[in-house]
Amino acid sequence: MFAKAAPRRHSLTVLIACCSLLVSLGARAATSIDTQRAAFRQAWAAAQQGGDGWHAWDAQLRSYPLYPYLPAAALEHDIQQIDLPTVQAYLAQYPDLIPAQDLRRDFLLELARRQDWNGFLALYQPGTNDTLACDALQARLANGAALDFDRDLAVLWAKPELPGACTPVLQAAQEQGLLTTPRLWSRIERAADAGKGGTISVLAAWLPAPQNQEAQWLAQALRDPQSAVAAAANWPDTAHARLAASLALQSMARRDTDNADAAWQQLQTHLSFSASQRDAIRRTLAIFHASDYDPDALQQLLALPASAQTATTREWRVRVALAAQDWPGVLAGIAAMPTDQQQGDEWRWFRARALAATGHAEQAQAIYADLAKQTTFFGYLAADQANQPYAICPQAPIDDPQQEQALLEQPGLQRAFELFAVGLQKLARREWARALDGSDERTQVLAVELADARGWYDRAAFTLNHGEAMHYYTLRLPLDSQIGVVEQAKQSGIDPAWAYGILRSESAWMSDARSGADARGLMQLVPSSAAAVARSNGMAWTGGDSLYDPATNVALGTRYLSQLAERYNGAPWLASAAYNAGPSRLNQWLSARGSLAPDLFIATMPFKETREYVARVMDYSLMYDWRLHGNALSIATRLTPIGQLYALPNSMTPRKAVDCAVTATPIAPASSATAPATAASVVTRTSQ
């Protein structure tokens, strides 16, 4: 008996020893990668100072996937001192990597600055960008070659705007007689369509008089439409004068609709505008009269000829009727839309609203019941009206350890994940895009799952954004407990689901996001506003770059949302509109149409961006409420009437059930024909 038991104890001892060894090896591997990451950060900082100091970490980093980024960073810093053989040696060692691509581009720009045209031509590869294409033409000119328009300039000439490097090339083309008057006018007209007045001004100088003056009228129409409209009364009735006046009137209509309308009444008797120009001017005036809700806006929209009608004019006909709560007018406006436009969720919702308001409750309920199947803002509104649960149908994660391991072994994704881990997110996104270019949907989902497990949440938003992949809600709408959204929202007195909804709408989880207006981080805060919030709340403020820290951004962002919400009785939908368009704009709209129901008010906000933003934030807020609680606060509860106090939800607040009315189509396993791309087969794609 005891003799038989001994082997069992021995097996158990061996098993424990093996497990201990595996745990130890795993711990060592984790320690090793953490050590390498710490070393890379130090080496990266040194490499960005130039020179060879970064080599101090060579021994630790030779096997690290990001090692090639270090010599490239040092060369980039020293680019004005290095020579062509040094760059060529790097390119030969790492020919297919992103840092090699960048180094080639930047050193070509340096060679052009040096006017080392022979070196430039030795390194140049066509198809990089317009600046280098023009530099290459300069190199050929410097070596005595002549330009051929079709071979050298035709592709560049078709673009409405070119970089400064192209100016000497175009000057040479002019001197060779290649820039004929018809060619000049063809490019001027393209530039006018694209709104590039600077391009027109340069080209005008090469036109013979008086055509150069007509070209300057086009530039003036784009730069200063008001002065162009005033001057147009004295312009001759030529084709280009009419084009300039048409552009100026349309631009002026966006800023000063009434004066543009008065000028149009005068100029249409002076200039013989074409039918298409008349349609464009009348359409633009009608749209901006409508967005200003002028008394005769509906009449102007209805008076437009069929040739001037567009999807925008038709929708504004309905928005004007909604602002007046003219329900028969709403029905007539929707009926005038093409079938595909009528089938949009917004117009199905308002058609049902109008039918209910005109005594056709049964027809309205049928539309509500069908629309309630949509996982959208208007689908949720319809579900409330139809007394149906919200149709949220999440796609189950893919469980394929073998394919996940294959992805983890892909060098491009290894570099992407490591770049993210060391905080170089822009470079990480570029590696990600290149590694997954051309891959099938299943591969993309698995890659997103790997990214999500590493806290790289923005990959889902930018990768799973079409078709059935949008049903991976747990990936597309992540919950990150480490940055404190729920805790900070509660401390700020706002709904955590709304805070998440704003965050998702603003940055799609890109913690390094920065807008043209200098809004930064997850909740897109402008440094001046964030500093004011910090002062008013007694919080630490260490400058604008601190907004790239997720926890700091969320702490300040939730308090800023709280301050906005206080202005509007706590209503998250109104505060969302203020967050996007600014309180001043929102207050103007409230003064004009503050008696409307929330859905009507949202639909009649003049800015398309703000209408879509509020709907998106409310959509995401509901979805995040579901993510946090398993069910969701009703959309109707979130849309409190203007002037009514919003009741902050809590654990006792009733929430609606969520049900999946339609089963999402599973994504098929990858076949051999759709296997993950290998490092040798990937193709460069611009990152989002």
Task: For residue 635, count other CB atoms closer than 10 A to its CB.
Answer: 25
The stretches of 166-210 forming alpha helices (DSSP H) are 167-175, 181-193, 197-204
Task: For residue 615, count other CB atoms closer than 10 A to its CB.
Answer: 23
pLDDT tens-digit profile of 137-184? 999 999 999 999 999 999 999 999 999 999 999 999 999 999 999 999
Contact 565, 501 (CB under 8 A): no
The stretches of 48-97 forming alpha helices (DSSP H) are 58-61, 69-77, 84-93
The closest alpha carbon to 478, from 657, 620, 369, 335, belongs to 620
pLDDT tens-digit profile of 37-69? 999 999 999 999 999 999 999 999 999 999 999
**Percent of the chain topping pLDDT 90:** 90
Distance, CA of 221 to CA of 81 (rounded, Å): 46
Q: How confident is the model at residue 128 (pLDDT cuts 50, 70, 90)?
A: confident
- Can you give the pLDDT at residue 569? 97
DSSP single-letter state for residue 116:
-
The closest alpha carbon to 536, from 518, 511, 562, belongs to 562
- Can you give the pLDDT at residue 310? 97
- Can you give the pLDDT at residue 13? 38
Q: How far is CA 22 from CA 27, 28, 328, 438, 630, in A?
A: 8, 10, 74, 37, 38
Distance, CA of 97 to CA of 122 (rounded, Å): 20
- Can you give the pLDDT at residue 31? 61
pLDDT tens-digit profile of 550-573? 999 999 999 999 999 999 999 999
Long-range contacts, 391-394 (Cβ 8 Å, 24+): 391/658, 391/659, 391/660, 391/661, 391/662, 392/473, 392/623, 392/626, 392/632, 392/658, 392/659, 392/660, 393/471, 393/660, 393/661, 393/662, 393/663, 393/664, 394/471, 394/472, 394/473, 394/474, 394/660, 394/664
Distance, CA of 654 to CA of 637 (rounded, Å): 10
User: What mean pLDDT is predicted for residues 91-104?
Assistant: 97
User: What mean pLDDT is predicted for residues 205-222?
Assistant: 96
pLDDT greater than 50 at residue 389 = yes
Question: Does the CA dihedral 377-383-389-395 come out positive or negative?
Answer: negative
- Can you give the pLDDT at residue 671? 37
Helix or strand run (H / E) with residue 413: helix 411-421
Give the distance from CA 496 to its chain's centroid: 24
The closest alpha carbon to 375, from 360, 359, 388, 392, belongs to 392
Contact 51, 78 (CB under 8 A): yes
398 Cβ partners below 8 Å, 6+ apart?
A: 442, 445, 446, 449, 667
Q: Is the peptide bond before 210 cis (omega within 30 degrees of 0)?
A: yes
- Angle in degrees, 0-180, between the axes of helices 496-507 and 608-629, rounded to the nearest 10: 130
The closest alpha carbon to 619, from 566, 579, 576, 560, belongs to 576
**Percent of the chain topping pLDDT 70:** 91
Torsion angle of the four alpha carbons 380, 385, 386, 388, in this order, in degrees rounded to the nearest 10: 50
Phi then psi dihedrals of residue 34, to 5 deg:
-65, -40
Task: For residue 403, count other CB atoms closer than 10 A to its CB.
Answer: 18
- Can you give the pLDDT at residue 688? 34
- Can you give the pLDDT at residue 85? 98
Three-state DSSP state, 367 = helix
Q: Which two tokens stand for residue 67?
A: 């090692």
Burial class, 400, CB count within 10 angstroms (exposed 0-12 / middle 13-18 / buried 19+): middle
Q: Is the peptide bond before 160 cis (omega within 30 degrees of 0)?
A: no
User: What mean pLDDT is predicted for residues 217-223?
Assistant: 97
Average pLDDT, the chain: 92
Contact 276, 287 (CB under 8 A): no
Residue type, 671: S
Q: What is the largest CA-CA distance in the chain?
A: 116
How do 658-659 and 390-391 pair as beta strands? Answer: parallel
- Can you give the pLDDT at residue 66? 98
Q: Which two tokens stand for residue 556?
A: 């300040």
The residue count of the chain comes to 688
- Can you give the pLDDT at residue 3? 36
Torsion angle of the four alpha carbons 223, 588, 649, 654, in this order, in degrees rounded to the nearest 10: -100
Q: How confident is the model at residue 660 (pLDDT cuts 50, 70, 90)?
A: confident
Contact 364, 355 (CB under 8 A): yes
User: What mean pLDDT is predicted for residues 299-325?
Assistant: 97
Task: For residue 3, count other CB atoms closer than 10 A to its CB.
Answer: 6
User: What mean pLDDT is predicted for residues 496-517?
Assistant: 97
Q: Look-up: residue for tokens 């149906």?
A: 388
Distance, CA of 451 to CA of 469 (rounded, Å): 15
The closest alpha carbon to 377, from 623, 54, 572, 19, belongs to 623
- Can you give the pLDDT at residue 30? 56
The closest alpha carbon to 275, from 285, 283, 265, belongs to 283
